[in-house]
């Protein structure tokens, strides 16, 4: 229980960092693309910082998943009842799945943008992948429990 409470606390606070840096990097890339800015060191650092922050949240989330009481509910009653309960389904299926997909989008977007040689395609790649990831994250945050 102490393990669950600690990891849950860290995951809950780290989430603010994730949402903030992802939002900043996404907006920054869209501004870079639309204003035809030159891609520079700050743009690269933002993209990288978002990658690292979300990867850390992914690891914390994975640990949290297996120590949470929700997981106990899954092992005790199985997938059927979990899917019928909207709270259990959110924490055990929808949230982890969408967050993992968001991290995949960020990882793919980051590596693709790095391989582009000029500013416009770099900003364009980041804009597309990070915006999608942001939407995935925002769609499956348990807002009522978090805020």
Site for ligand HEM in 14-43 (CB under 6 A): 15, 18
Q: Does position 52 bind ligand HEM by CB under 6 A? A: no
b (16+ CB within 10 A) / e for 104-123: ebbbebbebbeeeeebeebb
Given candidates 8, 107, 119, 131, which one binds ligand HEM under the rule CB under 6 A?
8
Nearest-5° angle of CA 80, CA 104, CA 89? 20
Report the residue number, 34 or 55, with the smaller CB distance to ligand HEM. Answer: 55
Report the residue number, 30 or 88, with the smaller CB distance to ligand HEM. Answer: 88
Tokens representing residue 6 in the block: 């600690």
Minimum CB–partner distance for residue 130 and ligand HEM (Å): 13
User: Binders of ligand HEM: how many residues, by CB under 6 A?
Assistant: 25
Tokens representing residue 128 in the block: 């597309």
Could you give the CA distance from residue 31 to residue 34 in angstroms, rounded to a whole number?
5
Could you give the CA distance from residue 17 to residue 36 in angstroms, rounded to a whole number?
28
Minimum CB–partner distance for residue 41 and ligand HEM (Å): 25
Minimum CB–partner distance for residue 52 and ligand HEM (Å): 12
- Which residue of the chain is nearest ligand HEM when measured via CB? 61
Given candidates 10, 88, 100, 104, which one binds ligand HEM under the rule CB under 6 A?
100
Give the orientation angle of helix 119-139 with respect to helix 2-34, to 10 degrees. Answer: 140
């Amino acid at each position: 229980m102490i393990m669950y409470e600690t990891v849950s606390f860290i995951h809950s606070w780290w989430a603010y960092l994730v949402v903030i840096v992802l939002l900043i990097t996404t907006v920054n890339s869209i501004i870079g693309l639309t204003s035809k800015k030159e891609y520079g060191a700050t743009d690269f650092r933002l993209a990288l910082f978002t990658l690292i922050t979300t990867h850390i949240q992914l690891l914390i989330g994975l640990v949290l998943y297996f120590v949470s009481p929700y997981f106990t509910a899954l092992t005790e009653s199985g997938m059927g009842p979990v899917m019928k309960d909207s709270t259990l389904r959110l924490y055990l299926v929808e949230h982890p799945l969408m967050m993992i997909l968001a991290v995949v989008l960020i990882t793919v977007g980051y590596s693709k943008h790095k391989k582009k040689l000029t500013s416009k395609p770099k900003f364009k790649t980041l804009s597309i992948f990070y915006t999608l990831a942001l939407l995935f994250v925002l769609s499956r945050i348990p807002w009522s429990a978090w805020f």
